Structure 1
Amino acid sequence: MTATAHRILLAGATGAVGMELLRLLRAQGRFVRTLSRTRKNAARVYGLASEVVVADAVEPGALAGVLDGITTVVSCLGASVSLTLRERRSYHDVDVVANTHLLDASKRAGVKRFVYLSAHPGPGYAHTRYLAAHLGVEERIRASGLAFSFVRPTGIYTALGDLVAMARVGLGTVAGDGRARTNPVHPVDVAEALAEVIDGGPAVVPVGGPDVMTRDDVVRLAFEATGKQARLLHVPPGVFRVMSALLAGIHPRLSDLLEFVAAVMTSDSVAPARGTRPLRAWFAELAGSRSALSRRPP
């Protein structure tokens, strides 16, 4: 079967990585059916996708017939890591449940290959509930009998957008001493890594960005983009852990996220530098676009 003959289902196509991947695949002339949770999300991919399906993968039975005729599934399904959270469901209740339903539907439909956007599990934070959700999905895919690849970015630039907002306020919060190292990566670089394994490839593809820097360095770049003097507040990671424990029964998603922040920001998270697009340029573009919006007349 030629590459263009593959029929792809892309779940999570309206996310930062999913949208970039959709553009890449359509530019290659691929057939891509997208799966979106809401009609509002689906409206963003009309004109790009070959076919558009609206269904919530978290709901049992919602995917009946959605995988018919599909040979390869690419899942970019995953709950947001933004601190501006309306959704309260835990990462397990979204990521694991939705991807398990998608995997089960794939097996019933005779899908041959499953490509999953996972996360880089550094030893200092692989135990967190956020990472456990991703690794739990990986375990289910490994046991499915389908061919697979997992693309594991260290951290995607879009997850750092809150830092620009903090810089505008004039104070950046960092868990721990800020010396842990990381090399986050642009969503386009991650999309390119996914596109490379659509038809086959390694079981695990770690993806890091071009620049290894400390957590303090990342926050300072956000301040640089806004043109403000960097002011950093180092908060003991134990504060985040206590807040996580207190929120466990009230806001499971935020509880999971605070646990993850406490661990990942105090641990090295570095993967091979596959990405080429620097964080400084992405922050500058983000800060510039927000500045333009703030100057737009009503």
Structure 2
Amino acid sequence: MKKDKTVLLAGATGYLGGHMAKELETRQIPTKIVVRNTEKAAQLISETATIVKAKLTQPETLKGLFEGVDTVISTVGITRQKDGLTYWDVDYQANVNLLNEAMRAGVRKFIYVSVLNGNLHRNLKICEAKEAFVDDLVASGLDYTIIRPNGFFSDMKDFLDMAKKGRVYLFGSGEQKFNPIHGRDLAIACVDAIASPKTEINIGGPDILTHNEVAELALLACGKPINVIHFPHWLRKSIIWALRTFTSSKTYGPIEFFLTLMAEDAIAPRYGSNRLGTFFQIEVDVLKKKI
């Protein structure tokens, strides 16, 4: 990629964004990494990557940053509320601010990471904001690719956290299937999308697993006997109702999302080479070294 084909990466301090920054560096693609906290992103500086400071929720801080940029890649979004910001502040408006500045600067393409089947779950607070931005991006006139990944390996740590205590809790039969993906594999696909004509890419990891199988992998990695407890779906629905009724979206948003997806299959085209069982084992080994 030539020097005038610079990528602007937003969301690099998150799980996926960090892998994305490394993949761009590996390919020697000139990159501007937009962050709020430059100290937190210091390790991302390289021969091809520079750090620029901006607050995505404050559009005036973005002015001038897109000069010479060919492609914007955004992984911006929040799964757990913080700093008093809402999904509409970050997943929607922060990305709209990026899009508006990209359009003013004549950027060629915008790549955005949403979620698998997000367009079918607009009733969920996380998806509502993400898909509203997708609508704006599609209507923008820019070339675009919407990346729709299945669950991240990092999200699977919830299974591992339960397994460390000797048991994993699931809803229903636990036979719902999905294929989560490692951030490294997903980053490769996202960077490939710079030159791809596809406007939407559904993507998951190489292994299609039931929730029971993921629970067993987590327990085995922790050296625990197989101990999986199944709760009925009516309890899951009751928890969602109670959270929606008695708490704010800041509290129930991520739980609502997780509990809803726990009740259905979520299978995407298989991609990548990193396996969940290996990821669990590495995580456990890292934890042991810290103790």
TM-score, structure 1 normalization: 0.89
Cα displacement (A) at 1:3: 5.0
Percent of aligned pairs with the same amino acid: 28
Q: 2:150 aligns with which of 142, 147, 154?
A: 154
User: How far off its partner does 1:234 sit?
Assistant: 2.9
Q: What amino acid sits opposite 1:39 in the alignment?
A: T
Which among 280, 283, 290 is matched to residue 283 of structure 1?
A: 280
How far apart, CA to CA, are the structure 2 residues paired with 1:189 and 1:135? 23
Preserved CA contact (<8 Å) 1:170 1:231: yes
Paired with 2:13 and 2:119, the residues of 1 have a C-alpha distance of 30
Aligned-residue offset at 1:43: 2.0
Is the contact between residue 33 and residue 51 of structure 1 (CA under 8 Å) also seen in structure 2? yes
In the aligned structure 2, how far is the partner of 1:239 from the partner of 1:229?
30
Find 1:206's aligned residue among 202, 209, 213.
202
Q: What pairs up with 1:23-34 in 2 under 5 angstroms? A: 23-34=22-33
Deviation of 1:132 after TM superposition, in Å, equals: 2.2
Structure 2 match to 1:79:
78
Is the 2:13–2:35 Cα contact (8 Å) retained in structure 1? yes
Q: Which runs of 5+ in 2 are unaligned?
A: none
* Distance 1:130-1:101 versus aligned 2 partners, 3 A rule: same
**Count of equivalent residues:** 288
Residue of structure 1 in register with 2:263 after alignment: 266
- C-alpha distance in 2 between matches for 1:55 and 1:182: 36
Q: Which amino acid aligns with 1:92?
A: W
Whole-Å separation in 2 of the counterparts to 1:108 and 1:168: 50
Give 1:99 deviation, angstroms.
0.6
Is the contact made by 1:221 and 1:283 (CA closer than 8 Å) also made in structure 2? Answer: yes
Closer/same/farther in 2, CA of residues 128 and 39 from structure 1, 3 Å limit: same
Matched, 1:135 2:131: yes
Equivalent residue of 2:44, what SS?
Answer: coil
- Equivalent residue for 2:227? 231
C-alpha distance in structure 2 between counterparts of 1:11 and 1:129, whole Å: 22
The CA distance in 2 between the partners of 1:122 and 1:70, in whole Å, is 28
Residue 183 of structure 1: which of 174, 179, 186 is its match? 179
Give the equivalent residue in structure 2 for 1:194: 190
Deviation at 1:86, TM superposition (A): 4.8
Deviation at 1:176, TM superposition (A): 3.3
Greater shift in the superposed pair: 160-169 or 278-287: 160-169
Contact 1:13 1:22 in 2 (8 A): yes
Distance 2:131 2:143 in 1: 17
Q: Which runs of 5+ in 1 are unaligned?
A: none
State the alpha-carbon separation in 2 of the partners of residues 163 and 6 from structure 1. Answer: 41
- CA shift for structure 1 position 145: 0.6
Shift of 1:75: 0.6
Judge conservation of contact 1:175–1:261 (CA < 8 Å) in 2.
no
List 4+ stretches of structure 1 deviating above 6 A. Answer: none
CA RMSD, aligned part only? 2.1
Partner of 1:51: 50
Asked whether the equivalents of residues 29 and 48 of structure 2 are also in contact (C-alpha less than 8 Å), the reply is no
Partner of residue 239, structure 2: 240
Residues 117-132 of structure 1 correspond to what in structure 2 (within 5 A)? 117-121=113-117, 125=121, 127-132=123-128
1:79–1:95 CA contact under 8 A, matched in 2: yes
In the superposition, the TM-score normalised over structure 2's length comes to 0.91
Whether the 8 Å contact between 2:8 and 2:72 is mirrored in structure 1 is yes
1:107-130 Cα shifts (integer Å, max 9, x gaps): 111111101111111787453222
Native 8 Å contact 1:120 1:206 kept in 2: yes
Match of 1:292 in 2: 289
User: Is 2:268 the partner of 1:254?
Assistant: no
Is the CA contact (8 Å cut-off) linking 2:5 and 2:68 kept in structure 1? Answer: no
User: What secondary structure, in the 3-state scheme, does the structure 2 residue paired with 1:160 have?
Assistant: helix
1:24 alignment partner, SS class: helix
> Equivalents in 2 of 1:142, 1:263: separation in Å?
27
Distance 1:153 1:255 in 2: 22
